Amino acid sequence: MSNRQKFYINGEWVRPAGSDTLAVINPANEEPIDDIALGNEEDVNRAVAAAKAAFETYSRTSREERVAILERVIGVYQRRLGEVAATISEEMGAPMYLATQAQAPIGLAHLMTNMNLLKSFKFEEDVGTSHIVKEPAGVCGFITPWNWPINQITCKVAPALAAGCTMVLKPSEVAPFNAILFAEILDEAGVPPGVFNLVNGDGPTVGVALSSHPDVDMMSFTGSTRAGIEVARNAAPTVKRVTQELGGKSANIILDDADFETVIARDMVGMCSNSGQSCNAPSRMLVPNGRMDEAAAIARSAAEGVKVGDPNAADTNIGPVVSEVQFNRIQGLIQKGIDEGARLEIGGTGRPEGLNRGYYVKPTVFSHVTNDMTIAREEIFGPVLSLIGYEDDEDAVRIANDTVYGLSGYISAGDPDRARALARRIRSGQVHLNGASVDTNAPFGGYKQSGNGREWGVHGFEEFLETKAILGYNAAG
């Protein structure tokens, strides 16, 4: 029995309590890769008990001890970076270039960011006669998705380790092997037993058991808004802290003074990255009404250049989407766009020509979309762009904010001051100006139904701390 059929609990690879398994499918060829064990409530109870016991000692470790642990983890992760990339590519379909240059390295970036934060973070301060102390939040439960899997694991695990918390991780059962590999990395690095625990399983079983567990002090969830609501509902009776990074339907405002040819082509290709499976994907492109046809022609031309294919092929830009369920959902939404009257510029339903097996989706552009259409309201999570027209800056802001989501926003303009002014009016947790990329030091998270709390950087680190006031600490006598 390999580690893929075991759980990592209290510093050991252990057999599951039950016998249920699940085949993990390679989305590029629809063939099984391997099986994982599916956990149950008993497995969760064992993992939480281990984390609770370990918290008694790990929460009292010094800054220097935790820095040393993170340094060892970083060293092992760097050595096994290629394995992480290859594992992610196989199980969720990312092209090898993306897995090697972005998917795997961003995990390393979160580890290094939090190690550096830990070195200088101010855990204590005096306020008058009181002393304010920031302490570890406790036992943390993590539920993570499949789309950027090691990113979402490390942006929770790294700050938790740095803060002095202990944890139980339930990764996505669709792409779980990178999490198992990550557990091996932590084990090899000598993370103390019980500090990190891994139980595979599905949401209704392991997810519910973890989020409702009375000995879990905090839940951190990344996934769909629907599932996030369930996590919050299950956590509510024990009044635990819940942070959520949920869905998105980000607007990308192209102002009339932007270089259309450059920015529309750039953002069409960028939206397709990771097969469109990013919660912050700029899937609603807002362009001036009078230049809709011009924008559509540029986006169509850019989409023609996006090569869909085998993740291992050197010329592949995007691989398959992650699963048959996801493929079918995207196909249904593309058809919905056609049925509701959006103009299909390129792409559409079915697989790209020459790809008869695997969950491959055609890069698709719709123009003349209105913001009340389904493809403008629902998160598609595929390489599908909707071009929506606006009259002026006020109208663009109104349309951008006319969504239940608020994870990210994008603005391109020739005048930087104009872009900055509009950015302040977008109701989202991040706004990218003129193609700015992600920043692991900046907070990531959403407004409205895109979640609550923040990850990444110092804001993400502080989510794993409780604040205590010791009154009279500095009183005379």
Please name which of 341, 360, 340, 342 lies closest in space to residue 350, comparing C-alpha atoms.
360
Q: Can you tell me the mean pLDDT for 315-335?
A: 98
State phi, psi for 105 to the nearest 5 degrees: -65, -30
CA distance 437 to 425: 20
Catalytic residue among 90, 245, 345, 462: 245
Distance from C-alpha of 223 to C-alpha of 108, rounded to nearest angstrom = 21
Please give the share of the chain, as a percent, with pLDDT higher than 70. Answer: 100
Q: What confidence score (pLDDT) does residue 475 get? A: 85
Strands 139-143, 251-254: pairing is unpaired
What's the mean pLDDT in 284-291? Answer: 98
At 476, is the pLDDT very low, low, confident or very high (cuts 50, 70, 90)?
Answer: confident
pLDDT-based confidence at residue 1 (cuts at 50, 70, 90): low
- pLDDT (average), residues 395-410: 98
Closest to 81 measured CA to CA, from 98, 67, 99:
99
Give the whole-angstrom CA distance, residue 114 versus residue 71. Answer: 11
Which one, of 386, 433, 425, lies nearest residue 406 by Cα? 425
From the list 165, 279, 462, 463, the catalytic residue is 279
What are phi and psi for residue 363, nearest 5 degrees? -60, 125
CA-to-CA separations, 123 to 2, 64, 130, 376, 425, in angstroms, rounded = 41, 13, 14, 44, 34
pLDDT surpassing 90 at residue 394: yes
pLDDT above 70 for 477: no
Query: Residue range 353-365: average pLDDT?
Result: 97
* β-strand partners of 220: 142, 243
What is the length of the chain?
477
Rounded to whole angstroms, the Cα distance separating 247 from 244 reads 10
pTM of the complete model: 0.97
Rg over CA atoms, the chain: 23
Rounded Cα–Cα distance for residues 374 and 338 (Å): 10
Q: Is 155 noted as a catalytic residue in this protein?
A: no
Nearest to residue 146, comparing CAs of 344, 381, 461, 394?
Answer: 381
Q: How far apart, in whole angstroms, are the C-alpha atoms of residue 189 and residue 89?
A: 24
Mean pLDDT over the full length of the chain: 97
| Percent of all residues in the chain with a pLDDT value above 90, rounded to a whole number | 99
Q: Is 458 exposed, middle or buried (0-12, 13-18, 19+ CB in 10 A)?
A: middle
Q: Does residue 279 carry a catalytic annotation?
A: yes
